[in-house]
């Protein structure tokens, strides 16, 4: 039995704000945003059902998609999204992947924690909680140098910042036990110390990229890689109490990265696969773009970022994302699985891009609900 959901009053906003339909941009009307999100999510679920998944159901690729679906389920009247997520949990017996200390394999833990908070069924988090307890007690003393399969034991690559600290943080909220948030915080800063470039306000993908260069001589900073970080950062903050000792430090990092990312937006509203050499991959890339737009909207919704500075950025970015959705709901321009910038085109799609798109849409609906639908203007 599905829980009773609170459907946000998106459709009432036009009336309560006194906004004329003729004077507003229909792209940003909540009902249209929601309709687009549902079309994208429906395409993904139908594709899974018809063709099966390319990846195991517990895999990080799918798990990143589930994060967007869980947020969509909280605002949609369609129960299909929650039903699908529950079927995934049951199919994997509420267990994460087989590599118990590999961040990728417990990315799905954040979905388990979110479902637990809806249903209060202990089986949904029991196995992940036992796994998290072992992560809490591990020594975490190894160097993050990219060798000896360090990624199976430590968060030695920037993608891990969306996979692991988020899952532990949501578990902390679900169980009211700060030890999971504490270890997420400790290990976040360990990775920061090794992979963050304070001059560029960006993360290297892993230690093997510290001295590599793009064709134009710039350092290699991968768009989706930094998207994983910025999106993971706001998801950790979403689970961090206002008076938590490290919160101000996280907010400072968020503001620095948000400003840098905004400055690298391309004229088409997107971010290309390579942040500092966009001409090497001269088309939009929607997974990085989606995660950035989600994170920037989160900052606007939480009154951390300035509306005058950042709304124009996300407005252009949403236009780039929405225009990448095919009539049947497939999201295009998503870079394939990788570790560095790569080519992409309109027919490129992956499940984690869908997750980023849905996360963005939920934050955009919240923003428009509280700030009104923007007026039409030339794009």
Q: Is the pLDDT of residue 5 over 60?
A: no
pLDDT band (50, 70, 90) for residue 378: low
Q: DSSP letters along 273-313, please?
A: SBSS-GGGS-S-BHHHHHHHHHHHHHHHHTT-S-HHHHHHH
3-state secondary structure of 36: helix
Q: Are 230 and 288 in contact (CB under 8 A)?
A: no
How far apart CA 202 and CA 284 sit, in angstroms, is 19
Domains belonging to the chain, first-starting first, are 13-54+154-371 (1.50.10.10)
Supply the pLDDT for residue 1.
52
Angle value at C-alpha 299, between 169 and 69, nearest 5 degrees? 55
Give one word for 140, left, alpha or beta, with left for phi > 0 and alpha for psi -120 to 50: left
Both tokens assigned to 254 = 């968020």
Supply the pLDDT for residue 21.
39
How far apart CA 33 and CA 365 sit, in angstroms, is 7
Question: Catalytic positions, please?
Answer: 159
Angle value at C-alpha 256, between 221 and 280, nearest 5 degrees? 25
Q: pLDDT averaged over the chain?
A: 94
Condensed to tens digits (0 to 9), the pLDDT of residues 84-110 reads 999 999 999 999 999 999 999 999 999
Quick one: how far is CA 37 from the chain centroid?
Answer: 15
pLDDT band (50, 70, 90) for residue 375: confident
3-state secondary structure of 213: strand
Question: In the chain, what percentage of residues exceed pLDDT 90?
Answer: 91
Supply the pLDDT for residue 2.
60
* Nearest alpha-carbon partner for 75 in 312, 377, 326, 368: 368
pTM of the full predicted structure? Answer: 0.94
Name the residue with tokens 């109490």: 241
What CA–CA distances, in Å, run from 8 to 74, 368, 369? Answer: 8, 12, 9
Supply the pLDDT for residue 280.
96
Identify the DSSP state of 96: -
Residue 271: φ, ψ to 5°? -120, 130
Query: Residue 334: CB partners within 8 Å, gap ≥ 6?
Result: 285, 286, 287, 344, 348, 349, 350, 352, 353, 354
Condensed to tens digits (0 to 9), the pLDDT of residues 300-349 reads 999 999 999 999 999 999 999 999 999 999 999 999 999 999 999 999 99
pLDDT band (50, 70, 90) for residue 9: very low
Q: Are 17 and 368 in contact (CB under 8 A)?
A: no
Exposure letters 283-298 (e unless 16+ CB within 10 A, then b): bbbbbbbbbbbbbbbb
Helices (H) and strands (E) in the chain, counts: 13, 2
Supply the pLDDT for residue 330.
98
Q: Provide mean pLDDT across the span 232-251.
A: 98
Radius of gyration of the chain (CA): 20
Per DSSP (E only), the strands in 188-290 are 196-197, 202-203
Q: Are 14 and 373 in contact (CB under 8 A)?
A: yes
Sign of CA dihedral 274, 279, 285, 290: positive
Condensed to tens digits (0 to 9), the pLDDT of residues 157-203 reads 999 999 999 999 999 999 999 999 999 999 999 999 999 999 999 99
Q: Which helix (H) or strand (E) holds 145?
A: none
Per DSSP (E only), the strands in 178-336 are 196-197, 202-203
Q: Is the pLDDT of residue 11 over 70?
A: no
Question: In the chain, what percentage of residues exceed pLDDT 70?
Answer: 93
Condensed to tens digits (0 to 9), the pLDDT of residues 13-50 reads 333 333 333 456 789 999 999 999 999 999 999 999 99
Condensed to tens digits (0 to 9), the pLDDT of residues 348-370 reads 999 999 999 999 999 999 999 99
If you count them, how many residues does the chain have? 379
């Amino acid at each position: 039995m599905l829980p009773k959901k609170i459907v946000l009053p998106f459709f009432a906003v036009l009336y309560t704000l006194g906004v004329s339909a003729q004077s507003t941009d229909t792209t940003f009307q909540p009902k249209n945003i929601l309709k687009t999100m549902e079309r994208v999510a429906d395409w993904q679920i139908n594709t899974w059902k018809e063709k099966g998944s390319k990846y195991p159901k517990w895999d990080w690729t799918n798990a990143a998609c589930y994060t967007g679906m869980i947020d969509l389920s909280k605002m949609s009247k369609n129960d299909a999204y929650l039903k699908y997520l529950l079927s995934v949990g049951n199919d994997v017996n509420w267990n994460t992947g087989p590599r118990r200390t590999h961040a990728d394999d417990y990315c799905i833990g954040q979905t388990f924690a979110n479902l637990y908070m809806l249903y209060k069924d202990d089986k949904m988090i029991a196995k992940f909680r036992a796994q998290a307890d072992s992560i809490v007690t591990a020594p975490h003393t190894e160097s993050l140098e990219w060798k000896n399969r360090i990624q199976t034991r430590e968060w030695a690559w920037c993608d891990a910042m969306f996979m692991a600290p988020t899952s532990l943080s949501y578990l902390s909220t679900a169980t009211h036990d700060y030890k999971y948030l504490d270890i997420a915080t400790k290990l976040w800063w360990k990775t920061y110390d090794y992979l963050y470039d304070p001059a560029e306000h960006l993360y290297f993908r892993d230690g093997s990229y510290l001295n590599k260069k793009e064709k134009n001589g710039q350092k290699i900073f991968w768009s989706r890689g930094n998207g994983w970080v910025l999106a993971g950062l706001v998801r950790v903050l979403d689970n961090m109490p206002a008076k938590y000792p490290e919160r101000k430090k996280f907010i400072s990092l968020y503001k620095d990265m948000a400003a840098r990312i905004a400055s690298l937006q391309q004229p088409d509203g997107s971010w290309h696969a390579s942040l500092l050499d966009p001409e090497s991959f001269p088309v939009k890339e929607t997974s990085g773009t989606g995660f950035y737009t989600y994170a920037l909207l989160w900052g606007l919704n939480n009154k951390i970022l300035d509306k005058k500075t950042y709304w124009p950025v996300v407005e252009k970015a949403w236009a780039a994302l929405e225009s990448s959705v095919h009539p049947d709901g497939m999201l295009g321009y998503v870079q394939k699985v990788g570790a560095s910038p790569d080519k992409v085109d309109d027919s490129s799609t992956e499940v984690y891009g869908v997750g980023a798109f849905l996360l963005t849409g939920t934050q955009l609906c919240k923003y428009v609900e509280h700030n009104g639908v923007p007026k039409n203007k030339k794009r």
